[in-house]
Every structure is written in structure tokens, then in C-alpha cells.
Amino acid sequence: MSELGPVAADEIDALAALMRDTIEPLGYYNARARRAELDKYTAARLRALVADDPDAALVARDDSGLLGFCVSRFDDGTIWLSWFGTAPRARRRGIGGALLTALAATLPARDAHKIWCDSRVDNVESCAALERAGYRRIATLTNHWFGQDYYLWEWTPEATPTG
């Protein structure tokens, strides 16, 4: 049985490790993109992020440790979903979807009216999870960050999850 909530202070190192283990092998991104993303989510940077906004890093956990994460930041009245991920051993068990639901629940307290994010166009798991959670594809950015192609997505409380 897993539970879900803001990352605790003593889980930050494990969160940084899970993010590194998720991003490092993710073939959808080129080496430059992965390096840049890994630099952004060191333990020190994650600590600073949640000191400012405790909802900025949500995690799913069970007795074995962290199973998933959802990292976001306030962006001028919106929430930018930076990364979400589930440990390989825990995929397809609803954890990614539950993290997106938990993120949506943070909007009122963060005085934000929508979530937006990007995905690589060929990241089928991410696209499917976002669609399943009611995110809408709003744009395609070709030859964009690090020379790669991305979709932009948005979610608003009015959106109805499918299924």
C-alpha cells in the first residue's frame, strides 16, 4: 500500500536519487538535455525548492521507500509541472496518475488556475498518462529545447479525466 504527499526533509536525498535514476537512462532526451535536467534537481536545489513551496515536490512512498515523484513550480498564476516519474518497479500501478491528481489538488492553495507542462513527442508513456489525467495537448514545439520536439500540455479544473 503506498501513500502520497509532500516530500519530507529526510526524503530529499532519496528524491534526488530517484530523479537521477529516472532521468539518466531516459532515451527520449538527448545527452545535453539529460545533463541540464540532472543539474537542476540536485538534493540542494530540491531542498531550496520545497523550502519556498512545500507542494513543489510530491512523492509516493511505501515501506520500501520512494515510488514516484511530481516536481512543479509556481509560474505567474500557473503551475509548471517540471517532472513526474515512477520507479520502474512500480509502473502501471496508478502511481503516476495519483501524483497528477495530487498535483491538481494543490492549485487552490498555490493560487493557481492551471497546470502546464511539456513532454517529448515520442514519450508514449508520459503522453498516455497525461491524456488519461485529462491534460489537453495545446501546441507542438519543433526543434525546441536542446534541439528536440515537444508537446505542450495544459490541465484546468474544468477538464474531465477520461475513462
Ligand X SMILES: CC(C)(COP(=O)(O)OP(=O)(O)OC[C@H]1O[C@@H](n2cnc3c(N)ncnc32)[C@H](O)[C@@H]1OP(=O)(O)O)[C@@H](O)C(=O)NCCC(=O)NCCS
CB of 83 to ligand X, least distance (A): 6
What is the C-alpha separation between 39 and 135, in angstroms, rounded? 27
Does 95 sit near ligand X (CB under 6 A)? yes
Between the CA of residue 136 and those of 17, 26, 34, 114, 159, what are the distances in Å? 30, 23, 25, 11, 8
Nearest approach in angstroms of CB 118 to ligand X is 7
- Which of 44, 48, 109, 124 touches ligand X (CB under 6 A)? 124
Piece of the chain touching ligand X by CB under 6 A; list 10-18, 30-38, 120-128, 137-145: 120-128
Determine which residue in the list 20, 40, 114, 132 makes contact with ligand X, applying CB under 6 A. Answer: 132
Q: What are the cell numbers at 158?
A: 474544468
User: From the list 50, 119, 134, 151, which residue makes contact with ligand X (rule: CB under 6 A)?
Assistant: 119
Q: List the beta strands (DSSP E) in 45-125.
A: 57-62, 65-75, 78-86, 115-120
Give, as ranges, the residues between 14 and 33 that touch ligand X (CB under 6 A).
Answer: 22, 26
What is the smallest separation between the CB atom of 16 and ligand X, expressed in angstroms?
A: 15
Burial of 85 (0-12, 13-18, 19+ CB in 10 A): buried
103 interacts with ligand X by CB under 6 A: no
Q: Which of 18, 123, 134, 151 binds ligand X (CB under 6 A)?
A: 123
**DSSP bridge pairs for 117:** 153
If one counts every other C-beta atom within 10 angstroms of the C-beta of residue 154, the result is: 17
Say which residues have a Cβ less than 8 Å from residue 42's Cβ, sequence separation at least 6. 16
Residue 134 lies near ligand X (rule: CB under 6 A) = no
Measured from the CB atom, the residue of 34 and 55 that comes closer to ligand X is: 34
Q: Which residues sit at the interface with ligand X, rule CB under 6 A?
A: 22, 26, 83-86, 91-97, 119, 123-126, 128-129, 132
